Amino acid sequence: MRKTNNVIKIKDFKVDKGLPFDQEYNFAYLDENTKKMIRRAIIKALCIPGYQVPFASREMPMPYGWGTGGVQVTASCLTKRDTLKIIDQGADDTTNAVSIRNFFKKTSNIKTTEITEKATLIQTRHRIPETPLKKKQIFVYQVPIPEPLAFLEPKVSETIKMHSLSEYGAMHVKLYEDISKNGHIETAYAYPVKTNDRYIMDPSPIPKFDNPKMNNSPAIQLFGAGREQRIYAIPPYTKVKSLDFEDYPFDPFKAEHACDICGSKNTYLDEIIVDDAGNKSFICSDTDFCNKRKNK
């Protein structure tokens, strides 16, 4: 195995649940120069809320679409003192979450947790936890398509211009189409928002139920798109507004049920078919929140 000068030696590690910490890797997999480059992109992104900063995305040891952007942002922000939580569709125990958590255990030997309050860094796919985020937490989103205007304008050179000149009127065409087809705004995830009254931003495919949680959040929110090579961010306490029409205001929709496990009425639910007769069950998609409520 090749060893570079950049490798940081960590002496006081402990092996966690049979997953050996591999010291041959640099801390958190990426080399220090790459992390520096990504941190610069993150700082720029934080200075211009909602603006997509290009960065030299690296090949990661996982396929595109598995969160290569989020993983690079997480790797660049991670310190030895961090406690990491990874969620996929709100759950800590699904494939994507488990494999990324194992990846960081193996390459950085940091503490991991499933409890939202205890985490200092949370990487997510498609959800924001029900437990409100707090100060000094970093929240990293995995983003497949960072460009909210891609639907309207396939040329990147043109969308860059539209962003720089705030030419966003056409964005409402998508919402108009929704209402004319369905009588209401059908877009249920990746619902476009305006950040700090300036840039229109794709919040990644989180359900629109989660959109209000981005507004004025005390946590740092970072978005990484690996394949598309873009990083963008929402600094703490920033206004994030979901787009809508005056006569069709934004509606953070959720299923009209209570969770069948914990009974919560105001959380985002997964609909699950439980037998061959088509019977359904609704349960919280945030497993940590649901477990805590159930155990109370």
Partner 1 sequence: MIIPLLKVTNLSKSYDNIVGCKNISMSLYPGEVLGIVGESGSGKTTLINCLSGNLEPDRGKIIFSINNKETDFLNISESEKRKFIRTDLAFVHQNPRDGLRLNVSAGGNIGEKLMSVGYRHYGNIRSLATKWMNKVEIDKSRIDDLPITFSGGMLQRLQIAKNLITSPNVIFMDEPTGGLDVSVQARVLDLIRSLVNELNLTVIIVSHDLAVIRLLADKMIVMKNGTVIESGLSDQVLEDPQQEYTQLLVSSVLHV
Kindly give the residue spans of alpha helices, DSSP state H, lying in the chain.
Answer: 32-47, 68-77, 95-108, 156-164, 171-182, 211-214, 287-295
Among 176, 189, 253, 282, binds partner 1 (CB under 8 A): 176
In degrees rounded to 5, what are phi and psi of residue 104?
-75, -30
Closer Cβ to partner 1, 134 or 161, answer by number = 161
Stretch that binds partner 1, among 55-63, 89-97, 169-177, 215-223 (CB under 8 A): 169-177
Shorter beta-carbon distance to partner 1: residue 5 or 157: 157
Residue with tokens 């959720």: 254
| Interface mask toward partner 1 for 142-161; x: CB under 8 A | ----------x--------x
Q: State both tokens at 289.
A: 């929140």
Which is nearer to partner 1, 7 or 179 (by Cβ)? Answer: 179
Q: Does 250 bind partner 1 (CB under 8 A)?
A: no
Using CA atoms, how far residue 199 sits from 165, 226, 240, in Å, is 10, 21, 10
**47 in catalytic set:** no
| Residue 172 sits in the site that holds partner 1 (CB under 8 A) | yes
* Residue partners of 106: CB distance under 8 A and separation at least 6: 19, 20, 21, 22, 25
Q: Which of 3, 11, 165, 256 binds partner 1 (CB under 8 A)?
A: 165
For residue 231, the surrounding DSSP H or E stretch is strand 230-234
- From the list 169, 256, 266, 279, which residue makes contact with partner 1 (rule: CB under 8 A)? 169
Q: Are 188 and 207 in contact (CB under 8 A)?
A: yes
Q: Provide the b/e sequence for 41-52 (b: ≥16 CB within 10 Å).
A: bbebbbebbbbb
CB of 206 to partner 1, least distance (A): 24
- Binders of partner 1 in range 182-241 (CB under 8 A): none
What is the set of active-site residues? 50, 259, 262, 284, 290
Where does this chain bind partner 1 (CB under 8 A)?
152, 161, 165, 167, 169-170, 172-173, 176-177, 179-181, 245-248
